[in-house]
Chain A
Amino acid sequence: MDMRDEKDGEELRALFDGRAGEAPDGHALLGNVHRRSRRMLQRRTGITAGALAVLAATGVVAVQNLGGEGTSVAAEPSASSSAEYPYFLKLMPPPGELTSFPLYPGNPLGDEDSVPEGFAGDYWYTLDGRVYTFGFLYTPQNGATDEQIYGGASPVRSSLVYDTGPGVSLTDGEELTIRGAPGRIKVTGDDIVLSWSELGREWRVRAHLLSVAQVKRFTEGLYEAGPGVFCNSSIGTMREWGRPATDSPPEGAREIDFYGKKGYLVGTEADSGSAHAIYFTGRDGTPMIVSPPEGFYATDDELIGETTVNLWLSCHLEPAVYGDPGPWVTGVSPGGDPGGAHSEFPLIPGN
């Protein structure tokens, strides 16, 4: 390195030292890494694209295998008679692989920090006849090692999404009442279609993204918000957070239709890496914020279009100021952490 390089290098050192202070502080990093890790696992197994198991109040399991990997799920009392793990959820992925995971009876309002090491999930559950879970298994279970789980060398390679309230199951044709409005569930492929005759249309959610409780919370918010708040969006392009809306769509942006309101999706914002708001600008350039439901999250990659370009999102169309995440349709505070503890968990009794 010559003298000039040395001198310029010193200038760069000063620049880097100063600019490094602008980096994110990382307070939410660990939680976000765990969530991202779980999503990676889901993508690896592919099971969340298919399997949705519903655990009924009695402990009897109803399974909707929604076009997935041929995995079936069953629950049974633990053969080990362990007081700590009285039930096991048994996964039977093809072909001929068999393993089981402990179901930990827990506080229905707990979060992953409350769960004993060895099991963690975004939401968890109890088998006492009530509520409740939405859990991902991603830490060693039953002696399985990280390598076995994450390396794909073991049958222990699955995640589960299931949830129920008393008397509620997520089955094709079943009625579900949201705030007094009778609706009906239709299961089609990877999607769950919630059909509300009162509102005269269907809402569609991705089975692998939402548990029953989330579906309820989701649709409850939609119902409260009224017609015209749900969108089928294709993500066009991304624009940096903080940029003002433009009158013309960004290059490559796809036009979308929010129930007759034409516009372009122009950006996404990762909220602590777990929840995202979608920024939408109308043809008139009016900036809008589309807040996905609590519990939904995806990486920018997924949102932006390498894989998932046809997301059904709960939308909150309201003029908004960039920089303000705006209210959430579910009533969860802006920045609410889908993986954290929830003081409000508005499960509605089933029919």
Chain B
Amino acid sequence: MSSFDEYVRARGSGLLRFAYLLCQDRHLAEDLTQEALARCHRSWKRVSNAGDPDAYVRKAVLRQFLSWRRRKSAMEKITADMTAHERSLDDGSASRAERSVLWTRLAALPRKQRAALVMRFYLDLDYAAISALMGCAESTARVHVHKGLATLRTTDLAHV
């Protein structure tokens, strides 16, 4: 088994979870992850020899997310979030319902802010790591997180 295969078997699920939290769509998450990994596959020796394949692959997924959304935005028109509606009806508990609302609000954030929040609060990356993945200054990463949180607090769901 190649080192690439071993890597995907070991880390693939984690990458899918990361992608899913970024895009909030199971199928798109698969596409993002597959596309990113396939691109990394082509230069896997270089990636693995560089010493931190996790960071490289994660960055590839992130880039896919940012560019994918841009590409598809002109072609897709999302008319409703069926998942969110179903869950809000099914959950039953207030806290779950609130989280469902939060999830919907998250989807309305600018993609960089959403990505920054996922990296900060799901991956528990520090701002230096986030800025490295996003290709921005550390202060910019902080701003993305801060603004994202502020928007989540103030967003009127009716406008989501």
Instruction: List A residues at the B interface (Cβ < 8 Å).
Output: 1, 4-5, 8-9, 11-20, 22-26, 29-30, 32-34, 36-37, 40-41, 117, 145-147, 150-151, 237-243, 250-252, 269-270, 273, 299-301, 304-306
A241–B77 alpha-carbon span in the complex (Å): 13
Q: Are B30's CB and A30's CB within 8 A?
A: no
Q: How large is the interface on B (under 10, 10 to 19, 20 to 34, 35 or more residues)?
A: 35 or more
Closest A residue to B68 using CB positions: A301
Q: Are B77's CB and A251's CB within 8 A?
A: yes
Instruction: List B residues at the A interface (Cβ < 8 Å).
Output: 2, 5, 8-9, 12-13, 15-17, 19-21, 24-27, 29-31, 33-35, 37-39, 41-46, 71-72, 75-80, 82, 99, 102-103, 106, 117-118, 120-122, 142, 145-146, 149, 152-153
A305–B76 alpha-carbon span in the complex (Å): 11
Give the shortest distance, in Å, between B93 (CB) and chain A (any CB).
Answer: 12
Given A23-B19, A150-B43, 19 further pairs, Cβ under 8 A: A4-B149, A5-B145, A9-B121, A12-B121, A16-B21, A20-B21, A23-B29, A24-B16, A26-B13, A26-B16, A29-B13, A29-B34, A29-B37, A32-B34, A33-B8, A33-B37, A34-B38, A37-B42, A146-B44
A5-B146, A242-B82 in contact; A273/B30 too (CB < 8 A)?
Answer: yes
B34, B145, B149: the one within 8 Å of A33 (CB)? B34
A146–B17 alpha-carbon span in the complex (Å): 28
Q: Are A23's CB and B20's CB within 8 A?
A: yes
Closest B residue to A13 using CB positions: B121
Q: Are A5's CB and B149's CB within 8 A?
A: yes
A250–B99 alpha-carbon span in the complex (Å): 30
A5-B149, A16-B118, A146-B43 in contact; A240/B78 too (CB < 8 A)?
Answer: yes
Contacts of A241 in B (CB 8 A): 27
Most buried by B among A146, A238, A251, A306: A146
Counted as pairs of residues, one from A and one from B, with CB atoms less than 8 Å apart, the total is: 148
A29-B8, A237-B77 in contact; A270/B16 too (CB < 8 A)?
Answer: no
Contacts of A240 in B (CB 8 A): 25, 27, 78, 82
A1–B145 alpha-carbon span in the complex (Å): 9
A19–B106 alpha-carbon span in the complex (Å): 12
A243-B82, A273-B31 in contact; A15/B103 too (CB < 8 A)?
Answer: yes
A11–B153 alpha-carbon span in the complex (Å): 11
Give the shortest distance, in Å, between B22 (CB) and chain A (any CB).
Answer: 10
A270–B124 alpha-carbon span in the complex (Å): 31
Give the shortest distance, in Å, between B46 (CB) and chain A (any CB).
Answer: 7
A224–B63 alpha-carbon span in the complex (Å): 45
Of the A-B pairs whose beta carbons lie under 8 Å apart in the complex, a sample of 11, sorted by A's number, is: A5-B149, A8-B152, A9-B121, A14-B99, A26-B16, A33-B8, A33-B38, A36-B35, A243-B79, A243-B82, A252-B77
A310–B40 alpha-carbon span in the complex (Å): 30
Closest B residue to A6 using CB positions: B149
Contacts of A117 in B (CB 8 A): 2
Give the shortest distance, in Å, between A306 (CB) and chain B (any CB).
Answer: 7
Q: Are A22's CB and B30's CB within 8 A?
A: no
Q: Are A29's CB and B31's CB within 8 A?
A: no
Contacts of A20 in B (CB 8 A): 17, 20-21, 122
A23–B146 alpha-carbon span in the complex (Å): 26
Give the shortest distance, in Å, between B83 (CB) and chain A (any CB).
Answer: 8
A216–B106 alpha-carbon span in the complex (Å): 49
Which 8 A/B pairs are nearest by Cβ-Cβ distance? A150-B42, A23-B20, A16-B122, A36-B38, A37-B38, A23-B17, A26-B13, A20-B17
A234–B19 alpha-carbon span in the complex (Å): 29
Closest A residue to B7 using CB positions: A30
Contacts of A146 in B (CB 8 A): 42-45
A20–B16 alpha-carbon span in the complex (Å): 9
A19-B20, A23-B19 in contact; A269/B42 too (CB < 8 A)?
Answer: no
A329–B42 alpha-carbon span in the complex (Å): 35
Give the shortest distance, in Å, between A19 (CB) and chain B (any CB).
Answer: 6
A5-B149, A9-B120, A16-B121 in contact; A270/B30 too (CB < 8 A)?
Answer: yes
Contacts of A300 in B (CB 8 A): 31
Contacts of A17 in B (CB 8 A): 122
A23–B61 alpha-carbon span in the complex (Å): 15
Give the shortest distance, in Å, between A9 (CB) and chain B (any CB).
Answer: 5
A19–B29 alpha-carbon span in the complex (Å): 13
